[in-house]
């Protein structure tokens, strides 16, 4: 997703892009893991990291861990570069929008 | 005047961290929209830039405190299973809501949505804070970065608003109560 550097930009946009895309992925994973735990009894019991909180503990912990790992990987790859931010923003906002929709129970129940 | 420990933690979670976060969102959105637009006429001075860095970092801390106290302190009390044959469900809010067709949706729609959508707020605002801390006034020359920060901050506001609304309504229908009673003020009977 490389693009020519903008002459007006003092700092490369790569670090920002890394944080934005990782946040989109993290938000989306909260919804995907929650949906999976709702649909599969085996996955649900796998997600019980702390019994009083139930599967919510595993769903959110896993999403946060993957989010932070993705952020670290993207940051290491892009921090000194300018990347095609329009495409990254689009992907991140689509993931964020999907996460809002998929956490809404009437929509999650369609799956 | 007294309050139970469970009620106090619910207050700290919702009216403390959560409500403060919601209030702070509007300030962050206005500041990012007005001051960091590429078309803003006045330059951003270092003092204002430092202020917004701290402001967004505090917002991120508030968002994390809200979801962590919610998920690991209040939610276990909410979802506690009632022993078989329990007639009075007041100490088991989830079971109380699910016991009546007129309140079950507060759990099946409200809590089911709230417990997951709330986590979008800390993830989004942590990203916004990290990007602002890194770029600061340079966001004016990175309009796409600024748009993403604004958009994610707006979604975090929306997610926190949904969670806050359902939290307040659920706690109204089936309050999280119990634990030790804390005496706040000794009143006099009339």
* Phi, psi at A108, each rounded to 5°: -60, -30
ipTM for the assembly:
0.91
What are A97's two structure tokens?
A: 């929008």
- Which residues of chain B lie closer than 8 angstroms to A94, CB-CB? none
CA atoms within 13 A on the CB side of B176: 25
The domains of chain B are located at: 2-80+89-183
Give the residue on A whose Cα is nearest the Cα of B71: A53
pTM comes to 0.93
CB contact under 8 A, A60 and B152: no
Interface size A-B, in CB pairs within 8 Å, comes to: 109
Q: Say if CB B44 and CB B36 are below 8 A apart.
A: yes
- Which residues of chain A lie closer than 8 angstroms to B120, CB-CB? 27, 30, 96, 99-100, 103
CA–CA distance, A111 with A102 (Å, rounded to integer): 10
CB contact under 8 A, A57 and B71: yes
The domains of chain A are located at: 23-108
The tens-digit pLDDT sequence of chain B (190 residues) is 889 999 999 999 999 999 999 999 999 999 999 988 888 888 888 999 999 999 999 999 999 999 999 999 999 999 999 998 888 998 999 999 999 999 999 999 999 999 999 999 999 999 999 999 999 999 999 999 999 999 999 999 999 999 999 999 999 999 999 889 998 888 877 7
- Burial class of residue B89 in the structure, from the number of CB atoms within 10 Å of its CB (0-12 exposed, 13-18 middle, 19+ buried): middle
Q: Say if CB A24 and CB A93 are below 8 A apart.
A: yes
């Amino acid at each position: 997703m490389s693009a020519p550097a903008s002459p007006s930009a003092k700092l490369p946009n790569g670090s920002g892009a890394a944080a934005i895309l990782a946040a989109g992925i993290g938000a989306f994973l909260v919804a995907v893991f929650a949906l999976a735990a709702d649909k599969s009894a085996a996955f649900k019991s796998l997600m019980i990291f702390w019994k009083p909180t139930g599967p919510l503990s595993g769903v959110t912990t896993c999403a946060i861990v993957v989010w932070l790992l993705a952020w670290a990987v993207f940051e290491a790859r892009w921090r000194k570069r300018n990347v095609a931010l329009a495409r990254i923003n689009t992907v991140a906002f689509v993931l964020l929008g999907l996460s809002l929709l998929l956490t809404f129970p009437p929509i999650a129940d369609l799956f | 005047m007294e309050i139970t420990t469970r009620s106090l933690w619910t207050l700290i979670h919702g009216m403390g961290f959560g409500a403060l976060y919601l209030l702070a969102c509007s300030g962050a959105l206005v500041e990012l929209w007005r001051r960091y637009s590429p078309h803003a006429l006045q330059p951003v001075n270092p003092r204002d830039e430092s202020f917004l860095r701290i402001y967004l970092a505090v917002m991120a801390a508030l968002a994390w405190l809200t979801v962590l106290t919610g998920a690991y302190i209040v939610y276990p009390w909410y979802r506690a299973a009632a022993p078989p044959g329990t007639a009075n469900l007041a100490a088991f809010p989830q079971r109380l809501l699910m016991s009546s067709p007129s309140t079950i949706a507060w759990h099946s729609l409200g809590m089911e949505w709230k417990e997951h959508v709330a986590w979008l707020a800390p993830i989004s605002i942590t990203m916004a804070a990290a990007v602002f801390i890194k770029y600061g006034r340079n966001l004016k020359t990175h309009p796409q970065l600024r748009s993403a920060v604004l958009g994610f901050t707006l979604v975090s506001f929306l997610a926190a608003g949904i969670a806050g609304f359902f939290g307040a309504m659920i706690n109204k229908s089936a309050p999280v109560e119990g634990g030790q009673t804390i005496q706040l003020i000794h009143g006099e009977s009339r």
